[in-house]
A and B are shown apart, each in its own frame.
Chain A
Amino acid sequence: MKISSFRVALSLAAVFAAAFSAKAQFTKLNAAGSTFAALIMQRWSEEFSKVPEHPSHLLRSG
């Protein structure tokens, strides 16, 4: 499957989800846990989505 975009959702409570989209196809990742690491995880999700091979939209919820 060719991954054409990457999305990350990160709530303030450090529950996050990432979704990869190959046109109509999505793979959603669900996760939970540490608020200790939430600040850096949030930044990674933002920066990762800027990388050309995983372009995209940043979604936030929370």
Chain B
Amino acid sequence: MGSGTGITNFTEGIVDFAASDAAMTDEQIAKVKEGVVLIPFTAGSIVLAYNLPGLESLKLSREAYSGIFLGKTTKWNDPAIARTNEGVKLPDTAITVCGRSDSSGTTFVFAKHFSTISPDFKSQVGEGTTVTWPTGITARGNSGVAGLVKQTPGAIGYIEYGYAKDSQLSFAQLQNKSGAFVTATPESGAATLNTTQFSGDSLRAWPSDPDGKDAYPIATFSWLLLYKKYDRKEVWEALKKFVTYSLSDGQKFANELGYIPLPKDVVGKSVAALGSIE
């Protein structure tokens, strides 16, 4: 299960609501006869978790992490990695790239970032909730990729920060647009979200390559997909209570679990959007 399945099930009307990090496109929204309200309800950073026993700190330049996921950088002691890790003894171990096999919002955000920073990635792999990785192995869900990385020496995979914390996986500092190497933290994620402006009435936006020296390069909102109108009022009553909780008291658990608390102005917009649902 992932965001892609969430969107499909929501569109087919077989669920009461869904969650997706890929939001929905205008074209997808047009297919939902009840109408759609998209509400940002949480946010998080995507980290590159790796399995190199004994190596707890690693810096990956944009060139290095693009090369790894394109299959061009195949060993951990490749000069592209060594250049930014002076004094670190990198092993002569093959890199195993771990990606998602299912239709995934995490993949969507990750590939969108890559396509922004790497023309080669854009032309060879491209964007979408499902992409064909030039190299590596795949698993379903964030927990599946975390598990693959955990059990595969030499592996690297993209997962939401909380899963790396939960699985006690090391993850790399990534080079951002300004050239700084930044660790995923609630603060660096917040710095990324603060660069993001929703366009018009839409509550959709992705900070594909944020400005700012403190901004972590890959962070995203995640959206609830709700119908504009619920025929069964008891369903909407129940759902509204839960969503209201998640946007208020629920936000206090974000840091602890490896998510980014929603900026206050975004909470305000989400609550307002909730009020438009009948």
Interface residues of A (CB under 8 A from B): 1, 3, 6, 8, 11-15, 18, 20, 27, 29-41, 43-44, 47-48, 51, 54
Contacts A1-B237, A20-B238 given: A32-B6 contact, CB under 8 Å?
yes
Q: Is the CB of B235 within 8 A of A14?
A: no
Q: Is the CB of A27 within 8 A of B238?
A: yes
Interface majority SS (helix, strand, loop, mixed), chain A: mixed
Closest to A25 in B: B234
Interface centre among A29, A34, A41 (most CB of B within 10 A): A34
Contacts A29-B17, A35-B1, A47-B253 given: A40-B259 contact, CB under 8 Å?
yes
Chain B residues near A48: list those with CB within 8 A: 242, 245, 250
Q: Is the CB of B18 within 8 A of A37?
A: no
Total count of chain B residues near the partner, CB < 8 A: 50
Q: Is the CB of A39 within 8 A of B237?
A: no
- Of A29, A32, A36, A38, which one neighbours B238 at CB under 8 angstroms? A29
Contacts A20-B234, A40-B42 given: A29-B106 contact, CB under 8 Å?
no
Known A40-B254, A48-B250; 6 more pairs at CB < 8 Å:
A18-B239, A34-B19, A37-B21, A37-B160, A39-B166, A44-B250
Contacts A33-B20, A48-B250 given: A39-B258 contact, CB under 8 Å?
yes
Closest to A14 in B: B1
Query: Chain B, 182-222, contact with A by CB distance < 8 Å: what is the 0/1 string?
Result: 00000000000000000000000000000000000000101
Interface hits, B39-77 → A, CB 8 Å:
41-42, 44
Q: Is B143 engaged at the interface, CB distance under 8 Å to the other chain?
A: yes
Q: Is B278 engaged at the interface, CB distance under 8 Å to the other chain?
A: no
Chain B residues near A6: list those with CB within 8 A: 238, 241-242
Q: Is the CB of A34 within 8 A of B6?
A: yes
- Of A11, A36, A43, which one neighbours B21 at CB under 8 angstroms? A36
Contacts A1-B237, A15-B1, A20-B234 given: A36-B44 contact, CB under 8 Å?
yes
Q: How far is the CA of A62 from the CA of B149 in the complex (A)?
A: 22
Chain A residues near B9: list those with CB within 8 A: 32-33
Contacts A13-B141, A14-B19 given: A36-B105 contact, CB under 8 Å?
yes
Contacts A18-B238, A30-B14, A47-B253 given: A37-B42 contact, CB under 8 Å?
yes
User: In the complex, how many angstroms separate the beta carbon of B119 from the nearest chain A beta carbon?
Assistant: 27
Q: How far is the CA of A43 from the CA of B46 in the complex (A)?
A: 19
Q: Is the CB of A35 within 8 A of B253?
A: no
User: In the complex, how many angstroms separate the beta carbon of B266 from the nearest chain A beta carbon?
Assistant: 15
Q: Is the CB of A36 within 8 A of B15?
A: no
Chain B residues near A47: list those with CB within 8 A: 249-250, 253
Q: Is the CB of A34 within 8 A of B259?
A: no
- Which 3 pairs, one residue from A and one from B, show the smallest C-beta to C-beta distance? A33-B6, A33-B19, A13-B1
Q: Is the CB of A36 within 8 A of B142?
A: yes
Q: How far is the CA of A15 from the CA of B3 in the complex (A)?
A: 11
Chain A residues near B97: list those with CB within 8 A: none
Q: Is B246 engaged at the interface, CB distance under 8 Å to the other chain?
A: yes
Q: How far is the CA of A24 from the CA of B1 in the complex (A)?
A: 32
Q: Is the CB of B20 within 8 A of A31?
A: no
